[in-house]
Amino acid sequence: MPDNLVTHLECSLCTRKYEAGKTWNLCECGGPLLVRYDLDRLRESWSRDSFATAPNSMWRYAPALPVQNPSSIISLGEGMTPLITAKTTGKRIGSNNLLIKDEGLNPTGSFKARGLSCAISMCVELGQRKLAIPSAGNAASALAAYAAAAGLEAHIFMPNDVPQANFIECKACGVNVTLVDGLISDCGRIVAERKDKEGWYDVSTLKEPYRIEGKKTMGYEVAEQLGWKLPDAIFYPTGGGVGMIGMWKAFDEMEALGWIGKKRPKMISVQAEGCQPIVRAFNEGAARSQFWENASTVAAGLRVPKPLGDFLVLNAVRESGGTAIAVADHVLIEAGIRLATEEGMFAAPEGAACIAAAERLLAEGFLSKDDQIVIYNTGSGLKYLEAYSTRYPR
Ligand SMILES: *Cc1c(COP(=O)(O)O)cnc(C)c1O
Ligand SMILES: [Zn+2]
């Protein structure tokens, strides 16, 4: 494997540059930072042929990840999740070509493992030893696991109605857990207020630049699994939007590496009816979202009332000719149960929402039956027993 060639970090809002190999949070202007690589040079040294012998995890894309020293890598086997053909569900909702990327198979049962594996590896590399995170649940679980594996101190702030699985998992990993009477936005405020005094590094969504890098591997992986061709449409359940932003970045990087062409999938942002700031902004033609009051949904990962990187998500959706769509809680739970019945895949409500969204867009003719559709099931249904148990009282 060739070395990576990080050149600098760049603000996604004002393009101001920041030095690589240092700890950063947001740009001075408040914009999230993106890691930039010398892709022209990387193109000379890194070829798609190298994958035959590459690690069977997201670290197979290490030349396009920010870690410089392989010994900094904290891996629990994240990534290289299966891309499953969903024939029965596809047929029912009107698609001949429905694929589901099952991110529920990641460590800690969600794709948050990708982002936190990368972020924690960078904390090890840059010497950050005390970390703090506000989380709707799955980011906390992943931080807890990777911090435990790395031997770092972690402070986690979650809403007090967080799924039990996340709470127990964090406690079992031995990190400091605080339950907050409020939403992830309230948790974020507490971390922001206390971090300087406590000496914590804030690993909030998009407030540190490396979780995007981990999550972008979903974009590399889907291309590799489809023989270096991108699908016609990607459905992504959008909370903070990190995965969408990451995949969009990955597509540009792969094009610069000469691995794919110009064609992009329609990027479809899926939210819950009870918290749909991106959908509202998309429909209004706005560049940024507005805080969604009284956010409420069983799909905990989608309960983000004001995503920091909203403009990046909206850009990707619009540039790709995609759309944004919201699904009611009872509809997404029903979709999750039907998916399990038809395909044997017990999805997180966030992933299930994408099935319901695809069904609607196929019925409306926004997508056609022969379009290749990839749905990201971002987590395992096993992390959401409270949400599903309303359907199965004992
Ligand atoms: C966090 C989360 C999401 C939203 O992810 P973003 O990249 O922040 O939009 C979706 N599904 C699950 C299961 C999650 O944990
Ligand atoms: Zn800036």
CB-ligand 1 contact for 138 (6 Å cutoff)? yes
Q: Which structure tokens are listed for 164?
A: 């039990």
52 C-alpha to center of ligand 1: Å? Answer: 30
Whether residue 20 lies inside any domain: the answer is: no
Q: Are strands 33-37 and 6-11 parallel, antiparallel or unpaired?
A: antiparallel
Task: Please state, in angstroms and rounded to a whole number, the distance separating the CA atoms of residues 112 and 266.
Answer: 23
Q: How confident is the model at residue 107 (pLDDT cuts 50, 70, 90)?
A: very high
Q: What is the mean pLDDT of residues 287-315?
A: 95
Identify the pLDDT of residue 242.
Answer: 96
Minimal CA–CA distance to 247: which of 98, 101, 75? 101
Whether residue 356 lies inside any domain: the answer is: yes
> What CATH number has the domain bearing residue 255?
3.40.50.1100
Minimal CA–CA distance to 269: which of 310, 313, 311? 313
Ligand 1 atom 4: residue of nearest CA: 239
Contacts of 371 (CB under 8 A, 6+ apart): 95, 97, 231, 232, 233
Identify the pLDDT of residue 33.
Answer: 97
Identify the pLDDT of residue 183.
Answer: 85
237 C-alpha to center of ligand 1: Å? Answer: 7
Whether residue 32 lies inside any domain: the answer is: no
What is the number of the ligand 1 atom nearest to the C-alpha of 103? 13
Residue 42 has pLDDT above 90, yes or no: yes
What is the number of the ligand 1 atom nearest to the C-alpha of 238? 9
Q: How confident is the model at residue 185 (pLDDT cuts 50, 70, 90)?
A: confident
CB-ligand 1 contact for 209 (6 Å cutoff)? no
**Ligand 1 pocket test: which of 78, 102, 105, 111 has the largest number of ligand atoms within 8 Å of its C-beta?**
111
Whether residue 253 lies inside any domain: the answer is: yes
Identify the pLDDT of residue 394.
Answer: 86
Whether residue 120 lies inside any domain: the answer is: no
pLDDT digit string (tens) for 207-238? Answer: 999 999 999 999 999 999 999 999 999 999 99
Identify the pLDDT of residue 1.
Answer: 62
The ligand whose atoms approach the alpha carbon of 241 most closely is: 1
**Ligand 1 pocket test: which of 302, 303, 345 has the largest number of ligand atoms within 8 Å of its C-beta?**
302
Residue 244 has pLDDT above 70, yes or no: yes
CB-ligand 1 contact for 110 (6 Å cutoff)? yes
Whether residue 282 lies inside any domain: the answer is: yes
The ligand whose atoms approach the alpha carbon of 140 most closely is: 1
**Ligand 1 pocket test: which of 244, 350, 383, 385 has the largest number of ligand atoms within 8 Å of its C-beta?**
350
Q: Which structure tokens are listed for 103?
A: 């991110």
- Kindly report the pTM of this predicted structure: 0.97
Looking at every residue in the chain, the average pLDDT score rounds to: 96
Note whether 23 and 43 are within 8 A (CB).
Answer: no
Whether residue 222 lies inside any domain: the answer is: yes
Residue 346 has pLDDT above 70, yes or no: yes
CB count, 10 Å around CB of 258? 11
Residue 136 has pLDDT above 90, yes or no: no
* DSSP code string of 161-216: T--HHHHHHHHHTT-EEEEESS-HHHHHHHHHHHHHHHT-EE--TTTSTHHHHHHH
Q: What is the mean pLDDT of residues 164-168?
A: 96
Q: What is the mean pLDDT of residues 335-347?
A: 98
What is the number of the ligand 1 atom nearest to the C-alpha of 115? 7
Residue 133 has pLDDT above 90, yes or no: yes
Whether residue 174 lies inside any domain: the answer is: no
CB-ligand 1 contact for 277 (6 Å cutoff)? no
Q: What is the mean pLDDT of residues 119-144?
A: 96
Ligand 1 atom 10: residue of nearest CA: 301
Note whether 64 and 50 are within 8 A (CB).
Answer: no
Identify the pLDDT of residue 2.
Answer: 64
User: What is the residue range of 234's domain?
Assistant: 83-108+212-388
Note whether 212 and 249 are within 8 A (CB).
Answer: yes
Identify the pLDDT of residue 140.
Answer: 96
pLDDT digit string (tens) for 353-384? Answer: 999 999 999 999 999 999 999 999 999 999 99
Residue labelled with tokens 């094009």: 255
Identify the pLDDT of residue 130.
Answer: 97
Identify the pLDDT of residue 4.
Answer: 72
Q: What is the mean pLDDT of residues 56-68?
A: 97
Structural domain count, the chain: 1
224 C-alpha to center of ligand 1: Å? Answer: 22
Question: Distance of alpha carbon 160 from its chain centroid, rounded?
Answer: 22
CB-ligand 1 contact for 316 (6 Å cutoff)? no
